[in-house]
Structure 1
Amino acid sequence: MGAEGYNYRAPDSDSLQQKRDQEFTVLQWNIWQEGTLIPGGYDAIVNEIDRLSPDFVTLSEVRNYHGSDFTRRLCQSLKARGKTYYSFRTDDSGLLSRYPLKDSVAVFPLNKDHGSVYKLTAQLGAHEIAVYTAHLDYLDCAYYNVRGYDGFTWKETERPTSVGEVLRLNDLSWRDNAARCFLNEARHDLEAGRMVIFGGDFNEPSHLDWTEATAYLYDHHGMVVPWTVSTLLERNGFTDGYRKVYPDVLSYPGFTYPCHNPAADITKLTWAPKADERERIDFIYYQGDNLFAIDAKLFGTGSSIVRSKAVGDRSADPIILPSGTWPTDHKGVWMKFRIKNK
């Protein structure tokens, strides 16, 4: 070409590969009883989803108050903004997809306050993806017991003296039951060649965060706890997306709860007023051939609640700040994935 006087450029192989690859984003967000505890909370939820335009949204604390179908209402509000999303009716947790649904199922239906897991299946080009959402049992949160608070009523109590005692208290919850139901259903998806995303508020920390390095931080009181939901998922081949992108737990603690909300009475934002209860309890896990986590950010305000006070987060965690009113007491987790085509 050059010898004949023609201009030309040879694209590098990486850019060609990226054009063939497919990317999508996921937002996990606990919306604190549909944003009803904050004036203008519902509109704020709509505004932020409209702004971020994630391909999939996994929602926690969906209540369907007064018999309404919250996710359907959310889809209608987003459609008025020019954004098309699909959903199906769920309770306690919910799902939105920018892709039409091929299937939807209740994997672990809500039983009182013992949590829920739901699933949708969608087609992304040549790839099928199963997206799960969860809001796991919050009646027995053993990480409060470590701080000297009862994990059911959040009243002050004696702290457990051993990790074994912590795990016995943790076993009172139904979180492991829900996780096993998820794993059984996800096994069939993986066998069928689908990729799997699992987002939710687990109401339980990760064993990747309660390590020797953090044993005397955040009122862990020297405890190194193999929290069971995260351990179950890891043993079954699922990857914690945020920890994959940011494995350094000291520089990137990734705390999602309790998030300081300037629009709310601070006394309503913590159930352990004398404790430092900062935790990462909102997660996005994934598994699938040629599926890779390539970016992750927290989504929310830049401060947390520590001993009933707002404390600015001094960490390297990247964060997407809200555009206006913040509707919840959690930070969300936003992630970008890439499907590498063969």
Structure 2
Amino acid sequence: MPNRISLYSPGRISLGADILVYYETDTPGNNRVCLYPEGSTGKNYRAFEYAPGRAGVVRFSGISTEKGKDSISPGRYTVKLIGIAEETVNCEKTEVILPLTTALSLELTHDPYFLVESFVSANVVVGQECSIKVGGILESFGRQVTFAKHSGDAWLDVSADGVISGTPPGEFAGRSGHIVVVAGVPGSGSGVGTSVAVTVPVRSAEATLVDQLRVATLNMWYDATIVRNGLGKVARVLLEQNVDIVALQEVHRYEHPAPGTVRRLAERLGWYYHEYPRIKSDAGEDKDIGVISRYPIDLDNSGYDEEFLRSEVTLGGLTVQVCCVHLAYWHYGPHAQRNGEKRFTTVVQKVEEASRCGHEMKEGILKKIKKYIAAADECPVIVLGDFNSPSHHDWVSEVTSKPLNYRATQVLERKGFQDSYRAVHPDPQAWPGATWSPTALWLADKREPRIEPQERIDFIFHRGKKLTVLDSRVHVTGVPAPAEEHPDWKTEPRRVWYNEWPSDHAAVITTYRVDPA
């Protein structure tokens, strides 16, 4: 097999858009695909991705133009496959770079681009005008852009400012409408444009508006600020995964009355939103949670308390109560089990006794939404978020006194809630479902760094006869670089700033069948 690389994308690529590179090598090992300014070689690369095995695809995600973040700006660059070897000189090991391929040229530009190539909108109803915003999912680099219809069904059109609209005719009931929207810079003369294909599912007036509901939870890692263009990457994940409702944690409203993270994300997507109100003088002391949805949120009938945000989402004739939580992270049981085994010992039990998670769930959340729980067979209730505590199903108890295991998930089950992930994947050995953490791989703040326990601490629970779990999975895109450098590393780690995945938690995505009866 010869050594070679090729670009999936054309040679002209917008800054921030993904650069996909295919590689093959007959010398597998410590290899990397590196991005160089044109004319540079050796260690003078601006970013790199590991190239394991004999063949594969690497993705440079969100290359930055911001000062202090490697200063990558528009211009000409090259990509090259290199190998890293070690030599011993004067009893000291040193790295040697071995070029494995010639360089491929590319140009990074400020051309606008859509975050996704295609997506599916919320369901619409025959005879009712629909409105779908696509302007927010275009990265325009501050340039004036106009939108136009390239092709599609006659009843769908798009305005110059990027709003798709139309009234579906009766013959489209049970089918989908389609439109391709193009965007470009007026008068640029470059002939360069970008497009997005939108599918619009149509329901008859008599049919159930939503027969499948896809729900997600995602911790946003300090308002999606740790990874370059984090908010755009979150938006892309939601569109690519066809999510209907997502509960968000680590989201704030620091510059009140300016829009907070929840609102800014929702406005980019053209979705509905419900954010925790700004109550305290220090926004960092308010609960850092919110909900966004492709379907309407009835804010007048929604609510909140100290430990949760309850959003009433309307799916045509069905109402769903979505309760977003972010439990306290103090006194984390897995850190007491040094060997990494999921055994609930007396040592772990003492940590759980000090934890507030079980009490928060029982007294601070479930007790205060009990009237909605009682009506869950008519209006389903979903409790989801970052629990900062594992599931009692995932650990084996070795104690005989209370607490017998982790309490937050136990109290939910006692109230008739079902863990959607374990409903589909009942065996924790075969399907551990870890959500913490794709980027936190060790405890770097200890005197002796050790492996960070990989745990399932993000959950989607539901109660109500009208929801049936069809699928549930843990989702991460790409291969995230670790957030902290291990002291034993001798070579430069990949930079977390360029991660394709915008969080230090994995998302959980559950698909429900919606039963109208």
The question of a shared fold, defined as TM-score above 0.5 by the shorter chain, is answered with yes
Match of 1:256 in 2: 435
Per the alignment, residue 106 of structure 1 pairs with 304
Q: Is the 8 A contact 1:258 1:269 kept in 2?
A: no
Higher alpha-carbon deviation: 330-339 or 119-128: 119-128
Q: Which amino acid aligns with 2:351?
A: L
Give the CA deviation at 1:206: 0.5
TM-score, normalising length from structure 1?
0.71
2:454 match: secondary structure: coil
User: What SS does the aligned partner of 1:99 have?
Assistant: coil
Task: Give the aligned partner of residue 262 of structure 2.
Answer: 71
Which residue does 1:201 correspond to in 2? 386
- Mark the CA change 1:232 to 1:100 in structure 2 (over 3 Å): closer, same or farther: same
Which amino acid counterpart does residue 300 of structure 1 have in structure 2?
Answer: V
Rounded to whole Å, the distance in 1 between the matches of 2:333 and 2:515 is 39
**Aligned partner letter, 2:275:** F
Tell me, what secondary structure is at the counterpart of 1:101?
coil
1:340 shift after superposition: 1.8
Aligned pairs, number: 274
- Matched residue, 1:227: 406
Matched with 2:315 is 124
Residue correspondence of structure 1 range 158-237 to structure 2 within 5 A = 163-180=345-362, 181-192=364-375, 193-211=378-396, 226-237=405-416
Aligned to 1:55: 244
Assess if the C-alpha contact under 8 Å between 1:101 and 1:122 holds in 2.
yes
Distance 2:295 2:444 in 1: 35
> Aligned in 2, Cα 1:148/1:247: closer, same or farther, shift over 3 Å?
closer
Change in Cα spacing, 1:50 to 1:208, as seen in structure 2 (3 Å) is same
Q: Provide the TM-score with structure 2 as the length reference.
A: 0.48
1:87 aligns with 2:274: yes
Per the alignment, residue 136 of structure 1 pairs with: 327
1:22-37 equivalence runs, <5 A: 22-37=211-226
Q: Where does residue 500 of structure 2 map in the other structure?
A: 325
Aligned to 1:86, the other structure's residue is in SS state strand
- Deviation digits for residues 5-55 of structure 1 (CA, Å, limit 9, x no counterpart): xxxxxxxxxxxxxx7672111011111111111222222122222333411
Q: Distance in 1 between matches of 2:478 and 2:404?
A: 27
Give the counterpart letter for 1:92 in structure 2. D
Paired residue secondary structure (2:275): coil
Residues 277 and 303 (structure 1 numbering): CA distance in 2 closer, same or farther, change over 3 Å? farther
Secondary structure class of the residue paired with 1:166? helix
Give the drift of 1:268: 8.6
**Which residue identity does 2:361 align to in structure 1?**
A
**CA separation of 1:326 and 1:184: change in aligned 2, threshold 3 A:** same
**Alpha-carbon spacing, 1:276–1:325, altered in 2? closer, same or farther (3 Å):** closer
- Measured against aligned partners, the alpha-carbon deviations of 1:136-184 in whole angstroms (never above 9, x if no partner) come to 10122122122289xxxxxxxxx9x973442232232321232022212
Distance 2:459 2:444 in 1: 20
**Aligned partner of residue 250 in structure 2, secondary structure:** strand
Answer with 236-245 or 21-30: which moved more: 21-30
Contact 1:259 1:269 in 2 (8 A): no
Q: Larger Cα Rg: Structure 1 or Structure 2?
A: 2
Residues 238-253 of structure 1: matches in 2 within 5 Å? Answer: 238-253=417-432
Amino acid at match of 2:413: E
Alpha-carbon distance between aligned partners in 2 of 1:270 and 1:249, rounded to the nearest angstrom: 29
Q: Distance in 2 between matches of 1:279 and 1:35?
A: 21
Q: Is the 8 A contact 1:267 1:308 kept in 2?
A: no
Secondary structure of 1:129 counterpart: strand
Whether the 8 Å contact between 2:214 and 2:512 is mirrored in structure 1 is yes
The gaps in structure 1 that reach 5 residues or longer are 1-18, 110-115, 150-158, 216-223, 310-323
Alignment check: 8 A CA contact 1:69 1:89 kept: no
In structure 2, list runs of 5 or more residues that go unmatched.
Answer: 1-206, 278-286, 487-498
Task: Give the Cα–Cα distance (whole angstroms) in 2 for the partners of residues 325 and 302 of structure 1.
Answer: 6
Relative contact order (C-alpha < 8 Å, sep 6+): which is higher?
A: 1
1:242-272 per-position Cα deviation (integer Å, ceiling 9, x unaligned): 00011111111101111138xxxx7798879
Instruction: Name the one with the larger helix percent.
Output: 1
More divergent stretch after superposition (329-338 vs 39-48) = 39-48
Superimposed CA distance per residue, residues 225-249 of structure 1 (whole angstroms, 9 cap, x where no aligned partner): 6111111111111110000011111
Amino acid at match of 2:457: I
Structure 2 residue aligned with 1:340: 515
Q: Find out whether 1:299 has 2:475 as its counterpart.
A: yes
- CA deviation profile, 1:71-94 (whole Å, cap 9, x unmatched): 111111112xxxx33323453111
Q: Which residue identity lines up with residue 200 of structure 1 in the other structure?
A: G
Instruction: Summarize the Cα distance change of 1:76–1:281 in structure 2 as closer, same or farther, 3 Å threshold.
Output: same
Please provide the CA RMSD for this pair: 3.2
1:301–1:331 CA contact under 8 A, matched in 2 = no
Q: Secondary structure at the match of 2:451?
A: coil
Identity over the aligned pairs, expressed in percent?
28
The letter of the residue matching 2:355 is S
Q: Are the aligned partners of 1:58 and 1:93 in contact in 2 as well (CA < 8 Å)?
A: yes
What displacement does 1:200 show?
0.6
Task: Answer yes or no: is the 8 Å Cα contact 1:130–1:196 preserved in 2.
Answer: yes
Partner secondary structure for residue 351 of structure 2:
helix
1-structure distance, mates of 2:485, 2:458: 21
Provide the residue aligned with 1:316 in structure 2: none
Distance in 2 between residues matched to 1:100 and 1:125, nearest whole Å: 9
Distance 1:280 1:269, change over 3 A: farther
Q: CA deviation at 1:191?
A: 2.4
Secondary structure at the residue paired with 1:46? helix
